[in-house]
Amino acid sequence: MQAGRTDQAVVIDAPYDEVWRRTNDVAAWPDLFSEYAAAEILESAGNTVTFRLTMHPDENGSVWSWVSQRTQDPAAGEVRAHRVETGPFAFMNIVWTYRPTDGGVELRWRQEFAMKEGAPVDTETMTARITANSTVQLALIRARIEERTRIESR
């Protein structure tokens, strides 16, 4: 089974602690991402959170939902996540890395996944979709965090 991979990053002009806090507040993701209608925390233990994400209806009116788990490693500036309920994916893993830069914080998403046999789309098609959507979501996250940081620093 051939895996799909994406690797995208954005630099957010905000303090590191602010970027870390806002992007790891899973319950508030519907305010940070445009694609999520709801984020429900199912369990939280130490640096690991298990949660259900529900998307807004797609163009066909279908609502997609799944359970994921993510574990923060603040010392490494890294979060590792995977889908618990994989749906059409054989597997889905994502690593978020945070790196201080001159312009703020580089937030990088590295995703690795594969689609199940018989899924509505193949891995190559999903790679293109995830790449396009991640570009949109990272830009939106940057804009929303930078705007909130400006407002709060007044």
Residue 84: its pLDDT value, please?
A: 97
Tally of CB atoms within 10 A around 96: 19
pLDDT per residue as tens digits for the range 89-146: 999 999 999 999 999 999 999 999 999 999 989 999 999 999 999 999 999 999 999 9
Residue labelled with tokens 């994400």: 53
Q: Which residues pair with 127 in a beta bridge?
A: none
Instruction: Give domain limits for the chain.
Output: 4-27+73-152
Whose CA is closest to 47, among 66, 28, 69, 18? 69
Among residues 88, 83, 100, the alpha carbon closest in space to that of 58 is found at 88
pTM, entire model:
0.93
**Could you give the CA distance from residue 22 to residue 87 in angstroms, rounded to a whole number?**
27
Angle between helices 16-23 and 123-152 (to 10 degrees): 130
Q: How many helices (H) and strands (E) does the chain have?
A: 3, 7
The Cα 122–Cα 58 span in angstroms is 18
CATH 3.30.70.20 applies to domain 4-27+73-152:
no
* pLDDT tens-digit series, residues 44-70: 999 999 999 999 998 888 898 999 999
Residue 135 backbone phi and psi in degrees, to 5: -60, -45
